[in-house]
Amino acid sequence: MSPTKTVAADIRTRNIMAAFRLLFPAARISRSELGRQLGLSRMAANEVTREMLDEHIIREIGEDTRTGRGKRSQVLAIDTAHWRVLSVDLSEPYVLKGAVVDLCGRIVDRTEIPSDDPERADFEDVTALSRQLMDMAGDAPVLGLGLAVPGIVDADGNVIHAVHLGWHDLPARQRLEDALQVPVLVGNATDAALLAERHFGEGSDNSMLIRIGAGVGASLCVNGEIVEGQHYMAGEIGHVVVDPNGPDCACGKRGCVEAYLSTTNLYAQIAADPAARIEILTGAGQMLGRIMAVSLGLLDLGDVALDAPADIAGEAFLNGMRGELSSAMTSHTSHHIPRLHRCQVGSDASLRGQAIAVIHRLVPTIRTRTADGTATH
Ligand SMILES: [Zn+2]
C-alpha cells in the first residue's frame, strides 16, 4: 500500500474506533450527532457509518424523531445480531467458564467445565471449552476469543506466570490461535474485571479494582487506559510485605498483603472467633485502607471497586476502609477520597471484561479481515 493510502486507512480505522466507543455499549446516536461529536464533515461521517453498517458493526434503528430543520438523520446503535465474541475465564477455582457474547458485551450463551483441582488447569480443557464455544456460535462469524488468566500475561499473550493454574511461560495466544483459527487475546483477569466494571458497573475513567480471593491483586485504569506496567505486573500487590514480622506467607516471605487479606485467611479468622466477625472485617478494611492510602493519594482516582465475596466486602469492610482512607487522605486543603464501592458486575466480571477487550481491539480490524478474506465464515 502507498504511504498516502496507509494514512487514509489509519484515519478510517481511527474514526471507526471512535464512533464505536461513542456507541458502546448501548448508546443510540443519530448519524449527524455522531459526526458532530467526532468532528467529522457530513460526507466523512456518512462514509464511516456506511462502512460500519456494511460490516454489521452498527445498525440503523429508525429516523431521529426530534423536531428540527432539514432531512432527518438515522439513529444508530451497535449491531448485536451479527458478530459473536467468545470468552473464557480461568479466575474462579474449580470451574472454567465460557461465554458467547454479542458486540455490546452481553452474554448470549454460556457453558463451563468443572475442575477438581483448584491449583491446576489443563490447557487441553481450555482448548476443549473454546471449541465448544465455537460450536455454540453456530453460523455467526466469530470476531475473536478472549482468555482471562489470573496471572501475569505479556503483550503477546504469553502467560509468564499464573500460580493458581500451575502455568509458567505458556504461549497461550499462539496455541489457541493454532487450534481455533480465530484471533485470540489473552489478558489478566483482574484487568478484565476492571474493564467490565467501567462499562457495565460504576467504574470511572480513573479507577482501581481490588480483587480479594485466594490471592489479592489490583488493576488500575488511568485516563481511560488500563495500566499494564513495565513488566505487565501493575497491581500485583499480593506479595508486597506490609510487616516483615507478620505471619508466614505461602510465597516464603512474612507479612505479605495476602497473608492478612486473602479470603482463606479472613475466613479462618472468622471461623476461629465467629462473634468477632464484624470486628475482623472492619479491621481488614482498615488495613487495606492503610496499605492503599499512599498509592491512592498519588493517583487521584475517581473510584475504587472491591471485587470480593459478599460476606467479606460488606458494610463493615467498606466502612473500615473508607474511614481509614478518609483520615489518611483528607486535610484542610483537600477532602477528595475515591468513591469506594463493591464491584457491580458480579461473578461474570472477568468473563465479560475479556470479551470487551476483544471487541475494542478487533472491531477496527474487521474491514481489513474481510478484505483479505481471512475472517472466519
Ligand atoms: Zn507472600
Tell whether 125 is covered by a domain. yes
How many whole angstroms from 237 Cα to the centroid of ligand 1? 9
C-alpha count within 13 angstroms, C-beta hemisphere, residue 114: 1
Per-residue confidence band for 119, with pLDDT thresholds at 50, 70 and 90? confident
How many whole angstroms from 131 Cα to the centroid of ligand 1? 36
How many whole angstroms from 250 Cα to the centroid of ligand 1? 6
Do 286 and 234 have their domain in common? yes
What pLDDT does 8 receive? Answer: 81
CB 133 within 8 A of CB 100: yes
* Structure-block grid coordinates of residue 238: 499480593
How many whole angstroms from 357 Cα to the centroid of ligand 1? 30
How many whole angstroms from 229 Cα to the centroid of ligand 1? 20
Do 179 and 213 have their domain in common? no
Report the number of distinct structural domains present in the chain.
3
Count of residues in the chain:
377
Q: What share of residues in the chain are helix, strand, coil (percent, to 5)? A: 45, 25, 35
How many whole angstroms from 117 Cα to the centroid of ligand 1? 21
Do 211 and 331 have their domain in common? yes
How many whole angstroms from 74 Cα to the centroid of ligand 1? 56
Of 52, 78, 104, at which residue does a domain stop?
A: 78
Do 208 and 335 have their domain in common? yes
Tell whether 287 is covered by a domain. yes
What mean pLDDT is reported for the chain? 93
The model's pLDDT over 76-93, given as tens digits with 9 standing for 90+, comes to 999 999 999 999 999 998
Per-residue confidence band for 1, with pLDDT thresholds at 50, 70 and 90? low
Of 78, 97, 132, at which residue does a domain stop?
A: 78
Do 186 and 208 have their domain in common? no
How many whole angstroms from 163 Cα to the centroid of ligand 1? 12
Do 106 and 15 have their domain in common? no
How many whole angstroms from 156 Cα to the centroid of ligand 1? 27
Do 175 and 308 have their domain in common? no
pTM above 0.85, yes or no: yes
Range of the domain at 283: 202-343
CATH number at residue 15: 1.10.10.10
Report percent pLDDT > 90 for the chain.
82
How many whole angstroms from 256 Cα to the centroid of ligand 1? 5
Distance CA 115, CA 132 (A): 16
How many whole angstroms from 272 Cα to the centroid of ligand 1? 22
Do 169 and 108 have their domain in common? yes
DSSP E strands in the chain: the ranges are 29-30, 58-63, 74-78, 84-89, 95-101, 107-114, 142-149, 152-153, 159-162, 167-170, 184-188, 207-212, 216-222, 225-226, 303-307, 339-342
Do 235 and 310 have their domain in common? yes
How many whole angstroms from 150 Cα to the centroid of ligand 1? 16
Do 139 and 165 have their domain in common? yes
How many whole angstroms from 338 Cα to the centroid of ligand 1? 27
Of 78, 98, 128, at which residue does a domain stop?
A: 78
